[in-house]
Amino acid sequence: MRAHINEHCLRTMCRVLGVHRSGYYVWQRQSGSARKHEDDRLLGLIKHHWLASGGVYGYRKITVDLRESGEMCSRHRVLRLMRREGLRAEVGYGSKPRYRGGPVGVVANILNREFAPDAPNRVWVTDITYIRTYEGWLYLAAVMDLYSRQIVGWATRSTMTSDLVLQALLAAVWKRKPGPGVMVHSDQGSQFTGDDWQSFLRGQFKKAARYA
């Protein structure tokens, strides 16, 4: 019905097919919500592969990686989602990956792609990824110390919220007990630009770095 909505009257189609209009609207809302959830899930996987490549992978290479991991997706869909998030392949060393986002909570990219700190607890990086389970998808937030490449804190949730990343960071703080000079590097995702996240960073670390 949705495919022919521009050609025929909805009331007529419902009458011919024996479908209540209210039922059609309920299905349409549910279908839209399911598509959004699937897009968000796929975007998380895209973002994971893009960050793992250091920001140099474009939509073609990421599509190949996704298909190799068992995801059924087209290059056009990957391109659409990457454009929506502002993810672009880095060309050479002069350009930096950019996120599309509003000015709220944006912090200068202090790290500036210098990924070799000279001591532990100087630079932490954090991100969110997805894990497929028998009960559905699980969100995992992890904090890694760039010096040792060890995971120093993590948390899981059934939903992706700012509380998820805060719990992962709190776990890292409890385990490492760093001084105020540690730099926390994240992207411009909404989970990392909320007031709670920003307040915690300012109070605990004083410094934060993001892709600008």
pLDDT (tens digit, 9 = 90+) per residue, 38-77?
888 888 888 888 877 767 788 888 998 888 888 888 999 9
Global pTM exceeds 0.85: no
Domain ranges of the chain: 1-31, 33-91, 123-204
Q: Where are the beta strands (DSSP E) in the chain?
A: 123-133, 136-145, 150-157, 183-186, 207-210
Mean pLDDT of 140-160: 86
Tokens at 159, concatenated: 């939903």
The CATH number assigned to the domain with range 123-204 reads 3.30.420.10
In angstroms, the CA 29 to CA 47 distance is 27
Exposed (0-12), middle (13-18) or buried (19+): which is 1, by Cβ within 10 Å? middle
pLDDT at 199 over 60: yes
Closest CA to 44 of 137, 108, 123: 137
Ramachandran quadrant class, 109 (left: phi over 0; alpha: psi -120 to 50; beta: rest)? beta
Decide the pairing of beta strands 150-157 and 183-186.
unpaired
Asked if 74 and 64 touch (Cβ cutoff 8 Å), the reply is: no
Residue-wise pLDDT tens digits, 84-126: 888 877 554 333 334 343 333 444 444 555 556 778 888 888 8
Burial (CB count <10 Å: 0-12, 13-18, 19+), residue 186:
buried
Please give the pLDDT value at position 99: 37
Q: Which amino acid type is present at position 167? A: Q
